[in-house]
C-alpha cells in the first residue's frame, strides 16, 4: 500500500460498483480511510471486502444524495467514525438518453436531482465539515458531456455542464474564505462500465438497427484517437491526483480523461 493520501478520510458516493468502486479502492490502496455510499447496498459488501482484504479500511453507508438529511447523517457518521472528512468524491449519477423534444419534465428533474442537486448538496455539506478540520479536496465527477453536446442526452449534458460552474464557483468561494479546500471536476469519456454498456445497447438498437452491440462497441472505440475505451482505474488515478496534496495548486479546474475524444 502506498501513501499518496495517507491519514486522509474519503467519502465516495455511488461507490458500490463502476467508477465509484474503482475510486474508493484506489484511495484506500493509497492510504485513505474510505466511506462508500450508495442508494442501494447491493454489491457494497464485495467492494468493502476487497478493500479490507487488501489491507485498507472502509465502511459502507446507504445514502440518497438528493436528500439533505442523508448528507447530514453520512457526514456526521464519517466524522464520528474517523474524526474528519478530508476528501469528498461526488460520483453518484444517472443518465437518460432523451433529446430536447422527447425528454419529459419528470425525466429532466430526475437527472437534475441526482446529478446536479446531489453534487451541490454534497459540495455544500463537504465544505461545512472540511473547514472545521483544516481543509480538504472535493472532486466532482462531471463528464465529457459537460464540455461538449450530444443531441440525444439533453438532461444529462445539462446536469454535467452545471457541475462545472458549480465547482468553479465553490472553488473561488473556498479560496476567498481561506478554507484550504480545493474543488475540481473530472470529466470521464467512454469508460468500460455498466452505464456505457447500456449506452452501447441503445446505439446498437436505435442507431445501427441490428442490435449488434459488439459492432457498436468497435465503432465507438474507433472514434477515440487512442483506439479503445477507458478503464475505471484511468478515472480513479485522476481523482487520486486531485485528492492528494500533489494537487495543492489545482482548484476550479477540469481534468479530462477521454482517450483524446474531445480533442478532435
Q: With pLDDT > 70 as the criterion, what percentage of the chain qualifies?
A: 94
Neighbours of 3 (CB within 10 A): 12
pLDDT tens digits for 81-137? 999 999 999 999 998 778 999 999 999 999 999 999 999 999 999 999 999 999 999
Q: Which of 156, 173, 179, 261 is catalytic?
A: 156
pLDDT in tens, 223-235: 899 999 999 999 9
261 pLDDT above the threshold of 80: yes
Give Cα separations from 60 to 35, 85, 134, 181, 234 (angstroms).
Answer: 6, 15, 25, 24, 23
Is there a catalytic annotation at residue 156? yes
Looking at residue 204, its pLDDT comes to: 60
Coil/strand/helix, residue 4? coil
Instruction: Please report, rounded to a whole number, the percentage of residues in the chain having pLDDT higher than 90.
Output: 85
pLDDT in tens, 64-86: 999 999 999 999 999 999 999 99
Which candidate, 224, 210, 138, 217, places its Cα nearest to that of 173? 138
93-106 b/e (C-beta count within 10 Å ≥ 16 → b)? bebbbbeeeebeee
Q: What are phi and psi of 7, to 5 degrees?
A: 75, 5
Residue labelled with grid coordinates 428533474: 109
Model pTM score:
0.94
Task: Annotate 113-122 with b (16+ C-beta within 10 A) or e (fewer).
Answer: bbbbbbbbbb
Q: What is the pLDDT of residues 48-57, one digit of tens each?
A: 999 999 999 9
| Eight-class DSSP state of 102 | T
Amino acid at each position: 500500500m502506498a501513501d499518496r493520501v495517507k491519514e486522509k478520510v474519503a467519502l465516495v458516493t455511488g461507490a458500490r460498483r463502476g467508477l465509484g468502486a474503482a475510486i474508493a479502492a484506489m484511495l484506500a490502496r493509497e492510504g485513505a480511510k474510505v466511506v462508500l455510499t450508495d442508494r442501494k447496498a447491493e454489491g457494497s459488501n464485495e467492494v468493502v471486502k476487497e478493500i479490507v482484504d487488501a489491507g485498507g479500511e472502509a465502511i459502507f453507508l446507504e445514502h440518497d444524495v438528493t436528500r439533505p438529511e442523508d448528507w447530514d447523517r453520512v457526514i456526521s457518521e464519517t466524522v464520528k467514525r474517523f474524526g474528519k472528512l478530508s476528501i469528498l468524491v461526488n460520483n453518484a449519477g444517472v443518465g437518460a438518453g432523451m433529446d430536447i423534444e422527447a425528454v419529459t419534465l419528470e425525466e429532466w428533474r430526475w437527472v437534475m436531482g441526482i446529478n446536479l442537486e446531489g453534487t451541490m448538496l454534497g459540495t455544500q455539506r463537504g465544505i461545512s465539515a472540511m473547514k472545521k478540520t483544516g481543509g480538504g479536496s472535493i472532486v466532482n465527477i462531471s463528464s465529457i458531456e459537460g464540455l461538449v453536446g450530444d443531441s440525444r442526452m439533453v438532461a444529462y449534458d445539462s446536469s454535467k455542464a452545471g457541475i462545472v460552474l458549480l465547482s468553479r464557483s465553490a472553488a473561488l468561494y473556498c479560496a476567498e474564505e481561506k478554507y484550504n479546500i480545493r474543488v475540481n471536476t473530472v470529466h470521464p469519456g467512454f469508460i468500460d462500465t455498466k452505464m456505457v454498456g447500456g449506452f452501447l445497447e441503445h446505439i446498437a438498437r436505435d442507431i445501427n438497427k441490428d442490435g449488434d452491440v459488439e459492432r457498436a462497441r468497435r465503432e465507438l472505440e474507433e472514434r477515440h484517437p487512442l483506439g479503445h475505451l477507458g478503464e475505471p482505474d484511468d478515472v480513479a488515478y485522476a481523482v487520486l491526483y486531485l485528492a492528494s496534496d500533489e494537487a495543492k495548486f489545482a482548484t476550479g479546474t477540469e481534468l479530462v480523461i477521454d482517450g483524446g475524444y474531445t480533442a478532435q
